Structure 1
Amino acid sequence: MAVNSLDVLCCRIEVGDADAANPMNIKSPIVLTEVLQIEISESYKQLIGTAKVTFPKGTVFQSTILGNTTPEGKDASRVTTEIMQDGVLIEKRTAQTQMTKDTFKIGQRINIKLGYNGLLKNMFDGYVTAYNSDSRFELQCENMAYKLKLKQAPKFETPVSGTKINDLLGEKYGLLKDTGFQIHGDTKKFDIEIGKIKITDNFTIADILSAWSKYKVYCFLKYDENSPDKMPAIAVGRPYSSSKSQPVFPGGQDTGPFQIRFNEHVAASELKVLKVDPKFLAVQGKALGIDEKFFEATVRLNPEYDPNNKDSKEFQTVNATQISKKTHKVTGNTTAEGADTKTKVDLSTYTIVPYMSPNMRIDSDKLVEETIEYFKNYNLNGITGSVTLFGDFGLTTAVQVELVDDRNPSKNGTYIVEEVTTTFGTGGYRQKITLPHKIKTITTYGDGKGNTGQ
């Protein structure tokens, strides 16, 4: 009779002082391999990811002591020697020590690796931002972007049009200068336009990058395999719901798609299958005008559309906001139909899908045109919600997953992971992933690409 193998949870947490010369290096770290609970949260919509680590009282950690003597209360179980570059012979003692209120300090570096059976994957790098040593030892942490909250942004102003992400994060404007961060290699390929940037006040670099989210331009951390010091890079992308011209997030070997089979990898599902009637679908388009103010227009199907009548329009424009008269005179643009009235159409019985134009300073007519095009290509049948996986994959935000459900094939397809909440501890190793609408339907699967858990 076959016996199933037992998967043993493993973790390795290192905490120590930050190295000014190399941010990814942790100086004289203490090592912990037992923990009560770990929770890691990250989303491509947020620059700052977080982690909360909870240890039980009496937790023992491993540390390395330099010198010839063993401090009182520490059991040196292993002694090694090392010859330094200057020829000095030093002695290293590995000791086991019980955790106290003085073990950790705010601002220390932390690294978290998780896995099964000794095969660990790097899941978090960051800094300790808060420490509670009351009933339990609890560390609250932020990822490496925490450094950008401490760096003043340079003051500059870009032209009205033509400002690109590559210029802002590159050498032209030097927003990332002396931060240790670089723009992700794949982000450079997108050549995303961000619009006019004016920095005249006391903003941090984190403030600037986070503010771009209102344009549906999201900045987040992602490891770049070409980075010489293994420092995470600043990745920038647009979601599928906001752009057709730039629908792909930065890629790499760890981007997927990872094939997730419901009968093997799923611990719990909170997915909802959406069946949308196109007659009651509305797409709400939004864009940034030349006056640097947002305006919008919503399109829906014309209920009295007659394809045999050339004067009959297939789509209606409703709830459009009027662009300013000043802008109207400068650009000579016509105003979207429906903007002249202040009466709003009640769309509470409609499924409303947001669309953010990737083009800056366009007119109302262009926005309506883009919104209609997005309506025509919108996938009416998809799923939303979340699914909880076992820790087989160690997923990060912005990766692609392929869902395979033999019992409900309508779920089958490719999705981009918007948010990942990783939990590890006495309740097991789980990852709750939030999925937006399906971006690609797949009916035939091969031999399980991405089904290795790597």
Structure 2
Amino acid sequence: MTLAINTELLFKPKNGRAFSVFRVSEIEIESSWKMLTDTAKIVLPRNVRDFDKYKVGNVFKAGDKCVIKMGYNGELLTEFTGYIRKVSADYPITIELEDEMFQLKKLPVHFAYKGGSLKSFLAEIVKGIEVDCDADIQIGAMRFANTTLGAVLDTLQKDYSLYAFIRNGKLTTAKPYSDVKNDKSVYRFDLERNCVSNDLKYLSKEDRTIKIKATSVTGKGKKMEYEFGDENPKTTLNIKLDFGDKAAMEKEVKRLYDLHKKEGFDGAFTTLGMPSLQHGEKVSISSTLYPDRKGIYYIDRVVKKLSADGYRQEIEIGQVAKK
């Protein structure tokens, strides 16, 4: 079956009429729950005539909205919605974009918090967008003077390992693997059949060295810390837990350690542009050559690339969802 690649770039200037561009040389979109801001880069063909009589800077302006749609055989899906961050001064025209966080992270913040739930904290400082977070997570007292929401979210990540990102138009915090789509389907990939290539390694429990460093803040703002795991680990996880009891906290850390120590694949694989995948979803990975090496994994990162070479998705997997 022949697959014809289709694209549409819908630009929505702040001052002016919306317009679409259907010819591109390259598109690259990177998204991950570990990234505060998802990014995209568009390269337009040198011979696009639509803009010959205009100055590029007057057509594509920083802050203008852009929607990227890609697909096969006329079936387009919205793969990115964001704002122009930068436009190249020379040819070919290269446009760099950021998702809705482009606007959100600039919001001014001047706020003192006595401590309490993450949800109540975000409700005080985030305006204009719905917040989706775990209501039970507690944080300690914090003070932010004359700063921005982007700096606040960076602090939550560094001090509490609470990652924030945009998902389905919401500011999502501390929920990397939930509520990605209404469709709960798990897409299946056989490394020898429907993957273009892969850089996956199958690790035993002994090979998968890990250490977990946990922090917890009680309702009174007292901070507890506990770490458990292997010496000289390849992976260190900094996590925020909601436990007022040290023994319960230690038990949960050891449970998470056992969960991550499961044998399985590690790394990334490349597949075609469809089905469209997002970080936080589950994928089933199997191997025809090694039938015992199969499992279901969460997606940590997706890089979508479209060029003359085709339309591809690089999928970086995270922890095991179930075996």
TM-score normalised according to structure 1 size: 0.63
Match of 2:48 in 1: 59
Match of 1:74 in 2: none
Q: Is 1:191 the counterpart of 2:135 in the alignment?
A: yes
SS at structure 2 position matched to 1:146:
helix
Which one is further off, 108-117 or 148-157? 148-157
Aligned partner of 2:163: which letter? Answer: Y
Q: What do the CA deviations read for 1:161-195 (whole angstroms, capped 9, x no partner)?
A: xx22332333xx2x222x3x1124xx4xx424141
Asked whether the 8 Å contact 2:80–2:99 carries over to 1, the reply is yes
Q: Go from structure 1 to structure 2 and tell me whether the alpha carbon gap of 1:374 and 1:394 turns closer, same or farther (over 3 Å shift).
A: closer
Match of 1:7 in 2: 3
Aligned partner of 2:59: which letter? Answer: T
Match of 2:251 in 1: 369
Q: What do the CA deviations read for 1:323-365 (whole angstroms, capped 9, x no partner)?
A: xxxxxxxxxxxxxxxxxxxxxxxx24x66663625126664x5
Alpha-carbon separation, structure 1, partners of 2:164 and 2:295? 26
Q: Is 1:252 the counterpart of 2:181 in the alignment?
A: yes
Match of 1:23 in 2: none
1:171-320 maps to which residues of 2 (within 5 A)?
Answer: 173=124, 175-177=125-127, 179=128, 181-184=129-132, 187=133, 190-214=134-158, 215-223=160-168, 232-238=169-175, 248-254=177-183, 256-277=185-206, 283-288=211-216, 295-299=225-229
Alpha-carbon separation, structure 1, partners of 2:222 and 2:92? 50
Q: Is 1:45 the counterpart of 2:34 in the alignment?
A: yes
Q: What do the CA deviations read for 1:300-343 (whole angstroms, capped 9, x no partner)?
A: 6xxxxxxxxxxxxxxxxxxxxxxxxxxxxxxxxxxxxxxxxxxx
Q: Is 1:390 the counterpart of 2:244 in the alignment?
A: no
Pick aligned residue for 2:263 from 381, 390, 397:
381
- C-alpha deviation, 1:284, in angstroms: 3.3
Q: Go from structure 1 to structure 2 and tell me whether the alpha carbon gap of 1:207 and 1:256 turns closer, same or farther (over 3 Å shift).
A: farther
TM-score normalised according to structure 2 size: 0.87
Alpha-carbon separation, structure 2, partners of 1:255 and 1:203? 39
Asked whether the 8 Å contact 2:140–2:217 carries over to 1, the reply is no
Q: Go from structure 1 to structure 2 and tell me whether the alpha carbon gap of 1:293 and 1:263 turns closer, same or farther (over 3 Å shift).
A: same
- C-alpha deviation, 1:58, in angstroms: 1.9
Asked whether the 8 Å contact 1:288–1:362 carries over to 2, the reply is no
Alpha-carbon separation, structure 1, partners of 2:23 and 2:77? 16
Q: Go from structure 1 to structure 2 and tell me whether the alpha carbon gap of 1:154 and 1:410 turns closer, same or farther (over 3 Å shift).
A: farther
Asked whether the 8 Å contact 2:214–2:239 carries over to 1, the reply is yes
Asked whether the 8 Å contact 2:70–2:77 carries over to 1, the reply is yes
Match of 1:28 in 2: 17
Pick aligned residue for 2:316 from 434, 443, 448:
434
Asked whether the 8 Å contact 1:289–1:362 carries over to 2, the reply is no
Unaligned runs of 5+ in 2: none
Aligned partner of 1:209: which letter? Answer: L
Alpha-carbon separation, structure 2, partners of 1:131 and 1:299? 46
Match of 1:166 in 2: 119
Q: Is 1:400 the counterpart of 2:282 in the alignment?
A: yes
Alpha-carbon separation, structure 2, partners of 1:252 and 1:399? 8
Pick aligned residue for 1:126 from 60, 78, 82:
82
Alpha-carbon separation, structure 2, partners of 1:207 and 1:255? 34
RMSD in angstroms over aligned alpha carbons? 2.8
- C-alpha deviation, 1:38, in angstroms: 0.5
Q: Is 1:111 the counterpart of 2:61 in the alignment?
A: no
- C-alpha deviation, 1:293, in angstroms: 6.3
Q: Whose strand proportion is higher, 1 or 2? A: 2
Percent sequence identity is 19
Asked whether the 8 Å contact 1:403–1:414 carries over to 2, the reply is yes
